[in-house]
Amino acid sequence: MHVQPIDIGCEPSPSVPAETLLADGFKTYLLFWAVSKEVGESGFLADHGVAVLDCQRCVACRFGYPNDEGMHEHPLWKSGIADSVSSVLEVRDSTWAREVEQQMQASASRIWGGRGIDSSWSRDLLLRHFILALKEKTFECLGSGLAVERYFPTFDQAIAFVIGRFKDH
């Protein structure tokens, strides 16, 4: 396993702890204060507001410890987290992703195969393992991708947007 940075167009704020996870049975969103990836002419990172990050086709997630001070104890610290210039990462050759893929294949085979229906589609699942190192929490998810849908000036507006997304499906 190794970890490498990925670009979602922003970085979680290194100083503002307000990360929030919102999920239902179909969609998973992480909200966080976002800043620019580069220092601007002012000498500071630009504030983008509250990012609404969609963990696309999310099948599993973890949210909690470690925070920024405890990140040295993350099992993947020595696999690339320590050297990364970004807080937004992808784990290549993830054992967690392979474990969940195998579980999903076994379930598909048991459920659909037992009915005489081809379950080979389940072998085509390729889950990606993402990590966002935040101020007070770490978010990890297995899905097909990450995308910032929008930025909002406040958490109330961002949460209202996500609730609307939940109602859309």
Q: Write down the pTM of the prediction.
A: 0.89
Determine what percent of the chain is predicted with pLDDT higher than 70: 92
Is the pLDDT at 67 greater than 80? The verdict is yes
Is the pLDDT at 123 greater than 70? The verdict is no
Check if the beta carbon of residue 92 is closer than 8 Å to that of residue 1.
yes
Identity (one letter) of the amino acid at 4? Q
Which sign does the torsion angle of CA 149, 152, 158, 161 carry? negative
Q: How confident is the model at residue 169 (pLDDT cuts 50, 70, 90)?
A: low
Mean pLDDT, rounded, for 83-106: 93
User: Which tens digits make up the pLDDT trace of 82-93?
Assistant: 999 999 999 999
State residue 126's pLDDT score.
82
- 121 versus 34: which is more confidently predicted? 34
| Alpha helix stretches (DSSP H) within 3-89 | none
**Cα 155 to Cα 18: distance, rounded to the nearest angstrom:** 9
Number of domains composing the chain: 1
State residue 108's pLDDT score.
79
State residue 122's pLDDT score.
56
The mean pLDDT of the chain is 91
**What's the token pair of residue 163?**
């609730």
Mean pLDDT, rounded, for 140-154: 97
**Cα 93 to Cα 1: distance, rounded to the nearest angstrom:** 5
Is the pLDDT at 9 greater than 70? The verdict is yes
- 18 versus 11: which is more confidently predicted? 11
Closest CA to 124 of 144, 94, 95: 144
State residue 163's pLDDT score.
96
State residue 130's pLDDT score.
98
Determine what percent of the chain is predicted with pLDDT higher than 90: 68
**What's the token pair of residue 3?**
């970890």
In which domain, by residue range, is 101 found?
2-167
| Residue 104, Cβ density class (10 Å: 0-12 exposed, 13-18 middle, ≥19 buried) | middle
Q: Please state, as a whole number, how many other Cβ atoms lie within 10 Å of the Cβ of residue 103.
A: 12
| Alpha helix stretches (DSSP H) within 59-140 | 95-108
State residue 165's pLDDT score.
93
**Cα 137 to Cα 147: distance, rounded to the nearest angstrom:** 19
